[in-house]
């Protein structure tokens, strides 16, 4: 049975799926889901950054730690809140999930943390010339990643809108925590994205 509080959220899900849930969009959303599952894609990208950017390896490790913290915290919150994923028959579910728990979106959490932390790393790359264009590209990428992943969770029918909003806020908080560690000076300097 549908919880009354979920009624407006189901309406949003149905609208999103009707308006943008075309086969190419669903395919892209599935690819994003696979990449973000258990934050594995983001962790791998951070590990690659650490391997290729030896002078800032500790900063990259801290950034990866922020992504892991965002993902782990979202799992803990899910187990406490225990909100079920959308289960209205009018909402199409286009991908499998590792659990039936929905709030907050772990994909949104880890993606937000990765976008904020990695964009700061790429934007501060040790390039003597061309740094400003690189920084603007990293900011642009970050501003597309977060809403893209959030929207993909709605297109796939596996989260309510408040799940992705809460996941995004949680990811931002974890990214802020990781940046504070770096700014304390014990880990190195960080470029603000």
Question: Chain-wide mean pLDDT for the chain?
Answer: 84
Residues 6+ apart with CB under 8 A from 29: 94, 95, 151, 152, 153, 155, 156
pLDDT at 15: 94
3-12 confidence digits (pLDDT tens):
555 789 999 9
pLDDT at 32: 94
75-127 confidence digits (pLDDT tens):
999 999 999 999 999 999 999 998 999 999 999 999 999 999 998 777 554 43
Cα distance from N-terminal residue to C-terminal residue, the chain:
44
Q: Domains (ranges, CATH) in the chain?
A: 4-186 (1.20.144)
Say which range, 1-5, 56-60, 145-149, has the weakest mean pLDDT: 1-5
| Letter string b/e over residues 2-36, b meaning 16 or more CB atoms within 10 A of that residue's CB | eeeebeebbeebbebbeeebeeebbeebbebbebb
Residue for token pair 């190419």: 24
pTM: 0.83
pLDDT tops 70 at residue 18: yes
Higher pLDDT, 173 or 188: 173
CA gyration radius, the chain: 17
pLDDT tops 50 at residue 184: yes
CA distances from 69 to 43, 75, 89, 112, 166 (A): 11, 10, 34, 12, 15
pLDDT at 144: 83
pLDDT tops 90 at residue 145: no
């Amino acid at each position: 049975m549908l919880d009354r509080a979920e009624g407006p959220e189901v309406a949003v899900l149905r609208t999103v799926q009707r308006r943008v849930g075309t086969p190419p969009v669903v395919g892209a959303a599935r690819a994003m889901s696979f990449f973000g599952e258990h934050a594995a894609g983001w962790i791998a990208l951070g590990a690659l950054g650490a391997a290729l950017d030896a002078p800032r390896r500790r900063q990259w490790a801290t950034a990866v730690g922020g992504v892991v913290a965002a993902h782990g915290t979202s799992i803990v919150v899910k187990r406490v809140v225990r909100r079920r994923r959308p289960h209205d028959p009018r909402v199409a579910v286009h991908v499998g999930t590792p659990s039936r728990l929905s709030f907050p979106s772990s994909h949104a959490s880890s993606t937000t943390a990765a976008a904020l932390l990695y964009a700061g790393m790429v934007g501060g790359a040790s390039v003597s010339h061309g740094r400003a264009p690189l920084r603007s590209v990293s900011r642009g990428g970050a501003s597309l990643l977060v809403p893209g992943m959030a929207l993909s969770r709605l297109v796939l029918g596996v989260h309510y809108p408040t799940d992705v909003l809460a996941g995004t806020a949680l990811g931002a908080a974890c990214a802020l925590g990781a940046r504070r560690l770096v700014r304390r000076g014990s880990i190195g300097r960080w470029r603000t994205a």
